[in-house]
A and B are shown apart, each in its own frame.
Chain A
Amino acid sequence: DQQVKQNSPSLSVQEGRISILNCDYTNSMFDYFLWYKKYPAEGPTFLISISSIKDKNEDGRFTVFLNKSAKHLSLHIVPSQPGDSAVYFCAASDGYQLIWGAGTKLIIKP
């Protein structure tokens, strides 16, 4: 049973608009959440994270929101740029290992 779910396999967004990527989890023991970005044939690179004691974390164009009661987090990218086209993975930490979602492919249209 998947503990971390990214229900949208792909998302297409106009350049300059906001991209919103969603992630749901089932295990209330997860205490740290991370977003990674991955280009084809490369390893994922860390993007932004959030602790379970917070509900928002910002880093430049990237903001992650955490709703613990709904067991839901989202990544907002604004404004979206062509270089943001990639696969985005949500991951949750149980303190020992990361549990990964299946990823969402973000396509930024010109």
Chain B
Amino acid sequence: DGGITQSPKYLFRKEGQNVTLSCEQNLNHDAMYWYRQDPGQGLRLIYYSQIVNDFQKGDIAEGYSVSREKKESFPLTVTSAQKNPTAFYLCASSIASGSSYNEQFFGPGTRLTVL
């Protein structure tokens, strides 16, 4: 089955530790995205990548880092510099960015709690 997987579903970390969230897709999509959702708010874009080895900052990139070494994978690292890391993180992919048709397909999300 084609889709996007995110692991783990729940993640707990101590304050000051870096943590990496996994996102894998087998849809052969070029573009991938990371969003953050906080209670009662919409999705806010952290980073996006249109092609392998290239990525751009979204609206709230501070305290996060990404890599795109493979088309299928777009891991997100939440660093200790991120002031409020506790949130629900969503990964998405689309056929291509730079296109007016931009339906995005989402993974199930990872809920990160920093203690």
A contact set with B: CB distance below 8 Å: 4, 6, 9, 31-32, 34, 41-46, 49, 51, 89, 93, 95-98, 100-103
Contact = CB atoms under 8 A, between A and B. Distances in A.
A96 B97 contact: yes
A59 to B, nearest CB: 13
Interface of B: 4, 33, 35, 40-45, 48, 58, 88, 90, 92, 97-109, 111
Given A31-B100, A95-B98, A95-B99, A44 B106 contact: yes
Contacts of B111: 41
Nearest to A32: B100
Contact of B42 (A32, A89, A95, A97): A89
Given A95-B99, A97-B45, A43 B40 contact: no
A98 B104 contact: yes
Contacts, number: 62
A4 B44 CA distance: 12
17 contacts: A6-B42, A32-B102, A41-B108, A41-B109, A41-B111, A42-B109, A43-B90, A43-B92, A43-B106, A89-B42, A93-B100, A95-B100, A97-B97, A98-B102, A98-B104, A100-B43, A102-B42
Given A41-B111, A42-B108, A43-B109, A97 B102 contact: yes
Contacts of A98: 45, 102, 104
A9 B40 contact: yes
Question: A42, A45, A46, A97: which has the most chain B beta carbons within 10 Å?
Answer: A97
A89 B35 CA distance: 14
Nearest to B102: A93
